[in-house]
Amino acid sequence: MLDEEEWARVSPYLSQTIAAVKDYRQRTGAGIADAKKGVSDRACEEFENLTGYKETNYLAIYHHRLSKHGPPCRNCGNLLRTPRARFCAACGTVVRADDAV
């Protein structure tokens, strides 16, 4: 998961990668899969530098922003899907008001 400082480092590369994929598609008429292969993916490289995890899909990085998730579930420890979650998607435990961060 990326904290806000790390997100600030990766985010510009995500925007650049998306723009490069769009540009590649316009120039070549390629599909999305081919366009992803045809551009440099600096976002995944920076994500790996920060986390040690080799992500191959730059769009998946959007799901690794810590501020988009809630606190850990008091029962199973998984992060709640959103800060306003009413239950844990992993185990079904209902979130109490005192569970908030």
How many beta carbons lie within 10 A of that of residue 25, not counting itself? Answer: 17
For the stretch 45-101, pLDDT in tens is 999 999 999 998 999 999 999 999 999 999 999 999 999 999 999 999 999 877 655
pTM: predicted TM-score of the whole model, two decimal places? 0.76
Higher pLDDT, 40 or 84: 84
For the stretch 3-39, pLDDT in tens is 999 999 999 999 999 999 999 999 999 998 999 888 8
HSE-CB for 18 with a 13 A CA cutoff: 11
d(CA 52, CA 97): 35
Q: Are 50 and 3 in contact (CB under 8 A)?
A: no
